[in-house]
Structure 1
Amino acid sequence: MKIALSQEIYSRLIKHLFSGKTEQVAFLLGMPTDTSPRIRLEQLLCIPPEGFTIQSEYHVSLTDETRAHVIKWAWDHQACLVEAHSHRGYATAAFSPSDIAGFREFVPHVWWRLQGRPYAAFVFTQNEFDALAWTKSPHVAQQVTTLEVDGRQDRLPTAESLHSYMRRAHDAGKRTL
């Protein structure tokens, strides 16, 4: 799965994610393309401080109103939803255990609300990123393989998160048997 965006949106996203001293969150609208397993990101929504119930250097939690707003935003544009957040002070970009636990609840909800449209999530550190996408099922993530900026600059993820996600999903399934 490749995700593409313009340099202008990428620059605004990175500027937002590393503003201030706390983790930041943004959402993007994406349109799947017919030519390949690719999503083209077309709009950016940066979450302001009042959009969080918790916002610290190591953890964020969005308000119910913010979650509802971003889902409606995607619905109104008939687009898929992509989240991005920053991890400050981490050497390697990877989703945290709390990020992964949050996906188990949030991704199926978004998937249902957006009638099966893909969902993707990015985590950025100062120098790298990782990303997962849910394109066929809200319970099965796949690795985002490339972030393409302006069709010519490919950025590769760390690919550190998928194994951890799959292990936690498998362990959660065992607990429900």
Structure 2
Amino acid sequence: MRGIRLVMIIVTFCLFVGGLRVMDTLPLKASESSSKEGANASVEQPLELEVVLKREYIDGHVGEERKKETIWSMEDFWARYDGWELVDQREGHITFRKKVDDLSPFVKKAGYFGINEGNELILFDGSDERSEVIQSFFQIDVGKLESFQSEELQKGIKIKSKDQYLSLLKKYEYFSITPTP
């Protein structure tokens, strides 16, 4: 929280020094507009940013959402992204990241555990014929597996929940081949 506040202070300072006063640029009411015309002939513009939100899921998948935002108040902007980690900030662009303690929507829909030709436990996309590998974990000693376990992995085990995902990882980690130093 201290880090976000520090970044907020630095960004706000930089915006004021650069001549962009974002904090107090809410649109004027018609009555205020006429009384302030002499003192302030032009209303300052809000800050326009491209915001990128990266969600990192426990299955290794990274989801990305991009959106344009108009910022009238830096305080409101930073409050909206409380809990997100600032990753990158450039002129007109800001990227946040958040670790999500769940499976990605993609893996919930199409994820399967299986085994490849090198006897590695893999997470793969079972939604089509290509069956692309999403993530590799560790090599399994297939000689230690029961025949039904080997058959299950050859066919693929559909991932249905985070608990099942973690349980299967733990179960097959028992059969992993640990490299000798």
TM range (shorter): under 0.3
Q: Using structure 1 for the length normalisation, give the TM-score.
A: 0.20
Q: Using structure 2 for the length normalisation, give the TM-score.
A: 0.19
